[in-house]
Amino acid sequence: MQLLDFAAAGVIALLTGMGVGSGGLFVIYLTLIRHLPQLTAQGFNLLFFLSSGGGALLYHIPRRKIRWTLIAILAGAGAVGAWLGSALAPQLHPDLLRRLFGGMLVLSGCVVLFRREKETSP
């Protein structure tokens, strides 16, 4: 099973790097294939994101494509959101949490879809 996990993480990382998906694909794999609880899967997804985000940061720093002010704002907002989410998640039923997460994925997918459509329009 470890080989399957390694292969799935590699494929998901490749797709994420190509802009096809996000770490949300990893959560879907962990919950549907590995049958992990939603909160555990989301914790692994955060570790997955930290490693891929760190790699991207190392790639872009020498190329000077880093907007440090924007990173600080997003990191602060993310920390507040993580704190609120960690306080609220144990109070929610796992099925509701799973549906909320699925809804967030659908919503973010729609935003990306319509944004790309707008960018390609004449």
54-58 CB contacts, 8 Å cutoff, 24+ apart: none
Query: Dmax of the chain from CA atoms?
Result: 48
Round to whole Å and give the CA distance between 90 and 3: 31
Q: Identify whether the C-beta of residue 21 lies closer than 8 Å to the C-beta of residue 12.
A: yes
- pLDDT averaged over 10-residue windows placed end to end, the chain, 122 residues: 80 70 76 87 82 77 83 92 87 86 83 70 56
**Joined tokens for residue 6:** 């390694």
Residues 28 and 43 sit within 8 Å (Cβ to Cβ) = no
Q: What is the pLDDT of residue 77?
A: 95
